[in-house]
Structure 1
Amino acid sequence: MTQPPANATPSSTEEVPAAPGWVEQGVDEILGDPALGLRQGPALTGLRNSYLDCLASPGRGGDVDAAHDRCRLALLRDLEAQQAIAAHARAALEQKLESLEAALSAGI
Structure 2
Amino acid sequence: MNWKLTATAIGLSLLTVTGVARADGELNIYNWGNYTSPDLIKKFEETYKVKVTVTDYDSNDTALAKVRQGASGYDIVVPSASVVPVWISEGLLLETDPNKMENF
Indicate whether the TM-score tops 0.5: no
Q: Which has the higher relative contact order, 1 or 2, with Cα contacts under 8 A spaced 6 or more apart?
A: 2
Whichever structure has more helix as a proportion of its residues is: 1
Whichever structure has more strand as a proportion of its residues is: 2
TM-score interval, smaller chain: 0.3 to 0.5
Which entry has the higher C-alpha Rg, 1 or 2?
Answer: 1
